[in-house]
């Protein structure tokens, strides 16, 4: 009877050790998988950074080449056939593909101009120009007031706009920037703006001087 009990205890101990070993192996496997995913993410981020820098350098080189060509010809103007206007598509760099496009931001409406001071008549004309664009894109022109309130320096809301008093009621609360937009993505923080509206505007407006 005692020998049978000892065998039973030995079997239980063996099963316990096996269970612990299996648990350790599974944990090591999970940790290895996490480390592999982290390493893969780091690799992909590094490749993306290298490609982004390469795109900037390629764009810079293209602009310098176009400028040299204009100087040689003695004519300085931009046209759709210029080197800088031609897209870079699927240029092989290592095991990555580079695609880039230079865009002339001067041909877009600058939303930060909505906060420009000076002549009230000129300011009103700028606002009306942006509202007209919104109408053409089938976007509510009243949303322009909210953009004006976001980029101007005061806390006085436009008729259909919004200042910090409105944004502080949201969850999570935040304040109006009352400063120039830094990127177009910042528009998503403004009252009434949606990803669809941003997609419609992205090719026609800018925040860069």
Which of 54, 83, 100 is where one domain is finished? 100
Cα separation, 55 vs 57, in Å, equals: 5
Identify whether residues 118 and 83 lie together within a single domain: no
Say which CATH number the domain at 129 has.
Answer: 1.10.40.60
Q: Which two tokens stand for residue 149?
A: 């309130």
92: Cβ–Cβ under 8 A, 6 or more apart, which residues? Answer: 98
**DSSP 8-state secondary structure symbol assigned to residue 52:** H
Tell me the pLDDT band of 16, cut-offs 50, 70 and 90: confident
> Domain span at residue 79?
2-100
pLDDT in tens, 149-174: 999 999 999 999 999 999 999 999 99
Burial of 63 (0-12, 13-18, 19+ CB in 10 A): middle
Model pTM?
0.64
Question: Which pLDDT does position 149 carry in this prediction?
Answer: 96
Tell me the pLDDT band of 5, cut-offs 50, 70 and 90: low
Identify whether residues 126 and 170 lie together within a single domain: yes
């Amino acid at each position: 009877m005692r020998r049978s009990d000892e065998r039973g205890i030995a079997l239980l101990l063996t099963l316990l050790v096996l269970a612990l070993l299996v648990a350790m192996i599974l944990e090591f496997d999970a940790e290895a998988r996490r480390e592999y995913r982290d390493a893969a993410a780091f690799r992909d981020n590094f490749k993306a950074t290298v490609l982004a820098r390469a795109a900037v350098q390629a764009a810079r080189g293209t602009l310098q080449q176009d400028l040299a060509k204009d100087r040689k010809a003695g004519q300085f103007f931009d046209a759709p056939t210029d080197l800088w206007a031609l897209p870079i598509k699927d240029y092989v760099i290592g095991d990555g593909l580079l695609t880039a496009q230079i865009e002339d931001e001067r041909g877009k409406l600058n939303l930060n101009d909505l906060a420009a001071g000076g002549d009230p008549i000129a300011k009103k004309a700028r606002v009306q120009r942006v509202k007209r664009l919104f109408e053409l894109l089938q976007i509510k022109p009243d949303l322009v007031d909210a953009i004006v309130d976001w980029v101007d320096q005061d806390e006085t809301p436009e008729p259909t706009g919004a200042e910090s008093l409105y944004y502080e009621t949201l969850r999570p609360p935040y304040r109006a920037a009352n400063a120039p937009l830094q990127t177009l993505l910042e528009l998503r923080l403004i009252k009434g703006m949606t990803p669809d509206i941003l997609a419609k505007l992205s090719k026609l407006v800018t925040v860069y001087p």
